[in-house]
Amino acid sequence: MLPRTQRVATALWAGIAGGAAAGFVARDVVGLGQPLVALAWLVGAGLPLLGLAGRGTSGDERGQAAVEFVALVLLAALALGALAAFGPRFDGRSFGGFLAFHVACAVKPDCHRGEDLLARAYGRRDAGLVRELAPNLVYEPGERQLPVDWRDCRRVACAEAPDERELDVHVSDAGERATAFTRLVRRGGRTYLQYWLYYPDSKSVWASSDWFWERAWEAARRHGLASSTPEYPGAHRDDWEAYAVRIDHDGRAWVRASSHGHWTGCKESACRNRWAARTGWTRVSRGSHAGHIPLRTELRPLPPGRPPPLVVAPGVPGSRVRRLPQLPGHDLDERTTTGEGLRLVPLETLDAAPYRPRDEGIRPPWQKEAYWDPESDES
């Protein structure tokens, strides 16, 4: 009876310690959010229990093996902690999304149906490239919409998901999958990949201007000065944004995102209509859904012997400026949609005839200049 009790206690200890170690690594080292931290806990707790269930010569040996396994997990946690403290930064949110998607795919029979669509459109090799370079999305706080499939959802209500900063989300509250429509172009020895994102509406905001607009007209209605709230300026139905990848002859990948009719490589005006080095992420602005590559700017050190300026004035020479990636979980505490779980739909094989614009001024991708000329400055 006593050995059996000891085995049960060992199993409980192994599960708790393994789950705690994996959760620590996921949350505090890698920088993942929910539900990936919970998944890490389950995996961390399950592996020692599987070890206990394995074959061995005796229950005591199995228990000892489980304890040794947990010790190894804890040692790995410490090693990863040291790596996080003293080594290069790791894009854990993206990697965690990759793991979560493939764990879920192991139990979902229709998980790879979309990949078959890509393969039929581009061939297996190019389909793998389109999947590999799909963007990870990070949303400005306050943005609730996900990019969705216009054939299934054209209302804001069916595209919204919780605005929780630690959430990696791929399905809206109404069950609609986060979706990107793809296009592949080869021109001049370069390969271009386009990922078009559809949102049911757009509302350009600045410093909570939409909130003040609503409150002002609410007060006007309350005092009998207005019967209804007029449409917010700059708002329109249907919104198409995009993320583009350019692969050069030497294999280097460059990216840019659509923003208010043009393209940009970062949020600053200096990046307008320019390509930036690929980081894997694009940031979605609240309301307008305009994109930019999340980068932070710092000045390069001055050459030896040159005195530093007292004030860094606007227009610092570009050679002195370098831009570094901002990574969710490290620099950005914001909701994400990691690219591995994005549903990808090739536009080349899509029947666009049923599409009807709800705002005549908003054109779908196949009517845009950039769709046909991937170097166009018009988005």
Q: Is the dihedral of CA 337, 36, 173, 334 positive or negative?
A: negative
80 with 111, same domain: the answer is no
pLDDT band at 225 (very low <50, low <70, confident <90, very high): confident
135 with 44, same domain: the answer is no
42 with 114, same domain: the answer is no
62 with 172, same domain: the answer is no
pLDDT band at 321 (very low <50, low <70, confident <90, very high): confident
194 with 262, same domain: the answer is yes
How does the average pLDDT of the chain come out, rounded?
79
| Whole-number Å distance between alpha carbons of 5 and 146 | 50
CB atoms within 10 A of CB 297: 14
Going by C-alpha positions, the residue among 209, 229, 201 that lies closest to residue 144 is 201
Going by C-alpha positions, the residue among 337, 39, 344 that lies closest to residue 159 is 337
| Whole-number Å distance between alpha carbons of 51 and 46 | 9
Task: Indicate whether 311 belongs to any domain.
Answer: no
156 with 276, same domain: the answer is yes
Helix ranges, the chain (H): 2-24, 36-53, 59-86, 92-105, 113-122, 124-132, 156-159, 209-222, 369-372
Task: Indicate whether 307 belongs to any domain.
Answer: no
182 with 234, same domain: the answer is yes
pLDDT digits (tens, 9 = 90+) for 322-359: 888 999 988 899 999 999 999 999 999 999 999 999 98
Task: Indicate whether 91 belongs to any domain.
Answer: no
3-class secondary-structure state, position 246: strand
The share of the chain scoring above pLDDT 70, in percent, equals 60
Residue 82 is which amino acid? A
CA-to-CA separations, 196 to 169, 183, 207, 364, in angstroms, rounded: 18, 8, 27, 9
Among 60, 86, 112, the domain-final residue is 86
Among 31, 52, 86, the domain-final residue is 86
Task: Indicate whether 113 belongs to any domain.
Answer: yes
Token readout for 315 is 């227009």
What H or E segment, with its residue span, contains residue 195? strand 190-203
Task: Indicate whether 149 belongs to any domain.
Answer: yes
Q: Containing domain of residue 35, as a range?
A: 2-86
Among 56, 86, 116, the domain-final residue is 86
3-class secondary-structure state, position 321: strand
286 with 145, same domain: the answer is yes
CB atoms within 10 A of CB 10: 21
Q: Could you give the number of structural domains in the chain?
A: 2
pLDDT digits (tens, 9 = 90+) for 228-239: 766 656 678 999
pLDDT digits (tens, 9 = 90+) for 112-134: 677 889 999 999 999 999 999 99
Lowest-confidence pick of 22-26, 233-237, 259-263, 276-280 = 22-26
Token readout for 232 is 């917010």
Degrees, nearest 5: CA angle 141-146-148: 165
Token readout for 356 is 């009807």
Lowest-confidence pick of 97-111, 218-232, 356-370 = 97-111
pLDDT band at 217 (very low <50, low <70, confident <90, very high): low
150 with 229, same domain: the answer is yes
Residue 145: phi and psi, rounded to 5, are: -75, 150
Task: Indicate whether 379 belongs to any domain.
Answer: no
113 with 238, same domain: the answer is yes
CB atoms within 10 A of CB 128: 14
43 with 133, same domain: the answer is no
Burial of 356 (0-12, 13-18, 19+ CB in 10 A): exposed
3-class secondary-structure state, position 266: coil
Q: Give 88-119 as a DSSP string.
A: ----HHHHHHHHHHHHHHTT-TTTTHHHHHHH
pLDDT digits (tens, 9 = 90+) for 8-23: 666 666 666 666 666 6
24 with 124, same domain: the answer is no
Task: Indicate whether 356 belongs to any domain.
Answer: yes
Task: Indicate whether 17 belongs to any domain.
Answer: yes
Cis peptide before 364 (omega within 30 of 0): no
